[in-house]
């Protein structure tokens, strides 16, 4: 399965996906990495792995629709079948999400549906949560609300700061995203007609 990874920065999730898809057992091949920001470390990670990169700078587009359309053309150019949003900090338009329904994965640093939106790690701390974690889900039109594919729990420690909890959750992300990509790329998990994730073993 041909995969595109969309990034906005450091790309530690991208790195985890690169390591996973290098394995001979992987059902996925990353064919392009697209960043909405130039010069970020994630682009270097892709280049070092021999993966083609593109920058689609959102500041150069007059509308979200034009930005998304340009992204979509790059995806078509590379014959992409599955898209992973890995630390990608843009909200995609409804028409893009609908077109890629069931083929668009995102990772969020909380156990959804808890703590949607930005600063999810800080929300968990402020709520006094004892357990948080990360979620890989299919992207739906409602932000952070799509069908869940994989979750990984992470303990919240008494002396945790936003930084220490974020770092612990990030480690979990690097396990969860590769696992979720394999499930979708191999066809074991897909989005059902009812908008719920469907496992082959449920059929």
Q: Which residues are catalytic?
A: 108
Binding part of the chain for ligand GRF, among 5-13, 61-69, 72-80, 184-192 by CB under 6 A, reads 5-13
| Among the listed residues 93, 122, 88, the one whose alpha carbon sits nearest the alpha carbon of residue 107 | 88
Distance from C-alpha of 34 to C-alpha of 148, rounded to nearest angstrom = 24
Binders of ligand GRF among 172-201, rule CB under 6 A? 173
Residue nearest to ligand GRF (CB): 87
- In angstroms, the CA 92 to CA 7 distance is 13
Rank residues 14 and 30 by Cβ distance to ligand GRF and give the closer one: 14
Tell me, by CB under 6 A, how many residues bind ligand GRF: 14
Binding window for ligand GRF (CB under 6 A); candidates: 12-20, 22-30, 179-187, 191-199:
12-20
- Site for ligand GRF (CB under 6 A): which residue of 1, 3, 4, 11? 11
Q: Is 86 in the site for ligand GRF (CB under 6 A)?
A: yes
Residues 108-137 that bind ligand GRF (CB under 6 A): 109
One residue of 12, 26, 35, 110 binding ligand GRF per CB under 6 A: 12
Given 3, 4, 13, 31, the residue binding ligand GRF (CB under 6 A): 13
Q: Measured between alpha carbons, how far is residue 179 from residues 21, 101, 105, 109, 151 in Å?
A: 11, 19, 12, 16, 10
Helix axes 41-48, 12-22, angle to 10 degrees: 10
Residue by residue, DSSP assigns 41-87 as HHHHHHHHTT--EEE--GGG-SSHHHHHHHHHHHHHHTT--EEEESS
Kindly tell me which residue out of 170, 181, 184, 189 binds ligand GRF, with binding defined by CB under 6 A: 170
What would the two tokens of residue 2 be? Answer: 């041909």
């893009």: which residue's tokens? 96
For residue 45, the minimal CB distance to ligand GRF (Å) is: 10
Stretch that binds ligand GRF, among 2-10, 47-55, 66-74, 76-84 (CB under 6 A): 2-10
- For residue 9, state whether it binds ligand GRF (rule: CB under 6 A): yes
Q: Is the dihedral of CA 123, 129, 134, 140 positive or negative?
A: negative
User: Contact positions toward ligand GRF, by CB under 6 A?
Assistant: 7, 9-14, 42, 86-87, 107, 109, 170, 173
């Amino acid at each position: 399965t041909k995969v595109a990874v969309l990034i906005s920065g450091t790309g530690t999730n991208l790195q985890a996906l690169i390591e996973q898809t290098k394995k001979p057992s992987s059902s996925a091949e990353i064919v392009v990495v697209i960043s909405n920001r130039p010069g970020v470390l994630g682009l270097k990670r892709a280049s070092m792995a021999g993966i083609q990169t593109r920058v689609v700078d959102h500041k150069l587009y007059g509308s979200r629709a034009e930005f998304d359309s340009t992204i979509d053309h790059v995806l078509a150019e590379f014959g992409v079948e599955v898209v992973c949003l890995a630390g990608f900090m843009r909200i995609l338009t409804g028409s893009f999400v609908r077109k890629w329904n069931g083929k668009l994965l995102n990772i969020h640093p909380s156990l959804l549906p808890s703590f949607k939106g930005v600063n999810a790690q800080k929300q968990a701390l402020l709520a006094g949560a004892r357990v948080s974690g990360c979620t890989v889900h299919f992207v739906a039109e409602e932000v952070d609300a799509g069908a869940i594919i994989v979750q990984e729990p992470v303990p919240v420690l008494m002396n945790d700061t936003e930084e220490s909890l974020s770092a612990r959750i990030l480690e979990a992300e690097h396990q969860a995203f590769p696992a979720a990509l394999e499930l979708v790329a191999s066809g074991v998990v897909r989005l059902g007609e009812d908008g719920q994730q469907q496992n082959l073993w449920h059929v």
